[in-house]
Structure 1
């Protein structure tokens, strides 16, 4: 069996609400989604979602190979960008091809990916996350009420710009999620918008009134000493790692004892997630994947690792033309029995977003403001 070709397709996810964080907002709620299809000489096609950056170059490392050699092919892709490095956007292309290869492997085995990876339980615990900094208080309440109806008892607020606003909005989350738990788990995501002392002051103020489960990405992703110092200064767990593009980038966080919840970006692929999860498990740390909506196959990997804590669930819908064999209920994701990762593409229903590149949307959450973190007060 050989890999014979690939195709890159594009569609739109309509969030039906503005989405964003402390760095920016996409008011239209329309984001582009890249789909990578990997074909074989047996007529079986694998599907990966997330990014198609650099796929033309990366494909040379796997063309003509047996698609079942997934982890070896992952390392071949890493080796193919050795000189330039696999940091940044290129890691998304590796991730999408990796997802497609795992999808192929499970399809060829006639099993859902979660079972191929060794999971016993198809249910993956989750938490609600609205990418919600631009929502009005009423919209915020409706979103978390809808998620509470699906059984969620924990939620994550996007904030970090105004402590009084965040406290008020955390109250809204708690009120809506309390139907499922007397003390819902509340998390706050600052998206790297603070320096160390800002973070200590901000979180300390929050913790006078709220039991914060974790603070997410409080500092720049590479600031291991800062994360460690912050962890010693607040009660909340420190969660970070979703934007790290490579297992080796976690080493400073581990060495400094700087992370309590090890996060992994879902769009970086299955193999990356599994390797980070093993590294975290060796240090008795839980792992939590971010971005189920963009990369649903990561939930299969989450079901298969012993230290999975909880997976971020950002939306109940799927991109246009994309169907997924899972159910969001009971406060998590119930994975289906369809062979592979359960992703089906209806090419006739794909619709390209006006701004196809989510990461390049002007004033969007992936464009860091020039004065991010340069504020005297909160």
Structure 2
């Protein structure tokens, strides 16, 4: 079987609540989900999720190739852009193609991807999340009670602007999840909103009130020295890595002992996640994949020996998607449908309402001008 072509779709996910982080909130709760379809001469189609703006430039690296050689094709794509670099949109495109290749490989074997990758258990432990920064207090509590109803005993909240608000919300989640655990795991994600000294000061205050499991992205993703200082000063673990593109970008953090929980963005694909997981495993560090629509990287997470928990952000899936998985018992139960377990209805996707707000000024993918530069935050402020 050979790869013969591709098509692109844009699906939409209606979260039915505002979603975002300290960098911005999408009040509509509707976000885009780019879909890449890799076609073959054998009638199978591979599904890759995530933006793939560089598909025309990268497709020649896999055109007419046997999709079963995924690892070789991944390196072929990196080689294809050797001179121009693989970060940003290019790495996202490599990831979407890579995901579609893994989907095809498992479909050709007529088995779910978790089985193809060697996992012995279809259950993937997780932690509750939800891009919850823009929720008012009542909606915030209702959101995490819904996670508790599904057996979750670990949760991550979004914060970084108002320390008192962050502490109060961590305590709220602790109380909610206490029905499932005497010591629920609590994480705080500030999405690079602090500088090093702010992080050390704020964590000292938080740790007086909350047994924090990890602080996520306290400073900029490449600040190995700052992350290492925070790791030494705080009791909590430092988690970072979701925005790093390529295993080589982790090396300064490993060398500086600047990361305790090694993260990988699901949007960067399956091969990248597995390589990051093995690099972390060689250093005795746990790995945690960051969420994406329909949780495709959960299949790889199930096979990793050092996977501590996958982020789960929503119970629903994008419009026009049917996904063979269940979110229950504090994690994801993967099904038996071949490949990623995703079936899409293209007609439904084509008719779905257009998304808005995700990539425009003020959304969570745009860093505010004064992030990390404020002296005294305004109490109760939502956003920067």
TM-score per shorter chain, which class?
over 0.9
Asked whether the 8 Å contact 2:38–2:45 carries over to 1, the reply is: yes
2:204 aligns to what? Answer: 204
2:381 aligns to what? Answer: none
1:88-167 matched pairs, under 5 angstroms: 88-167=88-167
CA distance in 2, matches of 1:55, 1:319: 22
2:380 aligns to what? Answer: none
Residues 286-333 of structure 1 show CA distances to partners (whole Å, capped at 9, x for unaligned) of 000001x42522000000010000000000000000111100000000
2:370 aligns to what? Answer: 371
Shift of 1:377: 2.6
Asked whether the 8 Å contact 1:26–1:361 carries over to 2, the reply is: no
Deviates more, 1:161-170 or 1:100-109: 161-170
Shift of 1:354: 3.3
Asked whether the 8 Å contact 1:12–1:356 carries over to 2, the reply is: no
Gapped regions of structure 2 (runs ≥ 5): 378-384
2:25 aligns to what? Answer: 25
Asked whether the 8 Å contact 2:357–2:363 carries over to 1, the reply is: no
1:335 aligns to what? Answer: 334
Asked whether the 8 Å contact 1:13–1:320 carries over to 2, the reply is: yes
Asked whether the 8 Å contact 1:188–1:216 carries over to 2, the reply is: yes
1:143-292 matched pairs, under 5 angstroms: 143-291=143-291
Asked whether the 8 Å contact 2:52–2:89 carries over to 1, the reply is: no
SS in 2 for 1:267: helix
SS in 1 for 2:367: coil
Deviates more, 1:73-82 or 1:187-196: 73-82
Asked whether the 8 Å contact 1:32–1:353 carries over to 2, the reply is: no
CA distance in 1, matches of 2:16, 2:353: 13
Runs of 4+ in 1 over 6 A off after TM superposition: none
Shift of 1:131: 0.6
2:361 aligns to what? Answer: 362
Task: Return the TM-score normalized by structure 1.
Answer: 0.98
SS in 1 for 2:363: coil
Asked whether the 8 Å contact 2:315–2:327 carries over to 1, the reply is: yes
CA distance in 2, matches of 1:352, 1:346: 11
Asked whether the 8 Å contact 2:231–2:238 carries over to 1, the reply is: yes
Instruction: Tell me the number of residue pairs that the alignment of Structure 1 and Structure 2 aligns.
Output: 376
Residues 267-288 of structure 1 show CA distances to partners (whole Å, capped at 9, x for unaligned) of 1011000100010000000000
CA distance in 2, matches of 1:34, 1:344: 15
CA distance in 2, matches of 1:288, 1:156: 12
Asked whether the 8 Å contact 2:160–2:189 carries over to 1, the reply is: yes
Shift of 1:168: 1.0
Residues 111-169 of structure 1 show CA distances to partners (whole Å, capped at 9, x for unaligned) of 11001100001100000002111101110111101111111001101001011111111
Shift of 1:174: 1.1
Shift of 1:60: 1.0
2:58 aligns to what? Answer: 58
Aligned CA distance change for structure 1 residues 251 and 295 (closer, same or farther; 3 Å): farther
What's the C-alpha RMSD, in Å, of the aligned pairs?
Answer: 1.1
2:74 aligns to what? Answer: 74
1:314 aligns to what? Answer: 313
Shift of 1:352: 5.3
CA distance in 2, matches of 1:357, 1:213: 32
Shift of 1:355: 4.0
CA distance in 2, matches of 1:373, 1:353: 36
Asked whether the 8 Å contact 2:26–2:357 carries over to 1, the reply is: no
SS in 2 for 1:208: helix
Asked whether the 8 Å contact 1:10–1:352 carries over to 2, the reply is: no
